[in-house]
Amino acid sequence: MSARLVVLVSGEGTNLQALIDAAQDEAYGADVVAVGSDRPGIKALDRAHHANIPTFTVSTKSHETRHKWDEALTEACRQHEPDLIVLAGFMKLVGEPFLKAFGGRCVNTHPALLPSFPGTHGVRDALDHGVKVTGCTVLIVDDGVDTGPIVAQASVPVHDGDDEETLHERIKVAERGLLVATVGRMVREGWSVDGRKVRIGP
């Protein structure tokens, strides 16, 4: 029986599309059963509709407090009984209700080799620092900003002529591959979290 993935998105949905494409193969071990967003009218939701995947939108503007929004997001995800939740370009921090329900079962990606260069400008910060190698990280979501236990990483070289856009495009390619491979391994082999260490497999 395939694992149930709920994917949360905020933008274009290229990582979502990679997961949808991978799930077409039964051997992948997972199905995207729902796609959720924090805002309507984005391309990622169009991708889900095209693939006949149910969608939901939980907007922060529709809730009095961030806590109430987090409770609503948690309930919307829970209705689809996910085995794993994937934040695929989801540009909101989840809070206590969400983590209480799905802690250890939610992964995110970041365009740098954590713990270096966390936050929303990981690519720019790596360039400004002059590193020769950067990359991407899949991590378990916790209550911090890109501070969760690291599941997997891939390196990407920094070229002398790189600017933020060219480097980020190469990182995105690596990120899609890493996310698809890591989620596939997690659902097929299982995973465990012990402090800051994540183990895939028995």
End-to-end CA distance of the chain: 18
Residue 110 annotated as catalytic: yes
The token pair at 199 is: 């183990």
Catalytic residue among 49, 50, 63, 110: 110
CA–CA gap between residue 80 and residue 54 (Å, rounded): 9
Q: Tell me which residue of 29, 175, 47, 31 sits closest to 108, measured CA to CA.
A: 175
- Strand 106-110, strand 133-140: pairing: antiparallel
Angle, CA 193 vertex, CA 102 and CA 8 arms, to 5°: 35
Q: Which helix (H) or strand (E) holds 67?
A: helix 66-78
Residues 6+ apart with CB under 8 A from 43: 11, 12, 13
- Residues with a catalytic annotation lie at 110
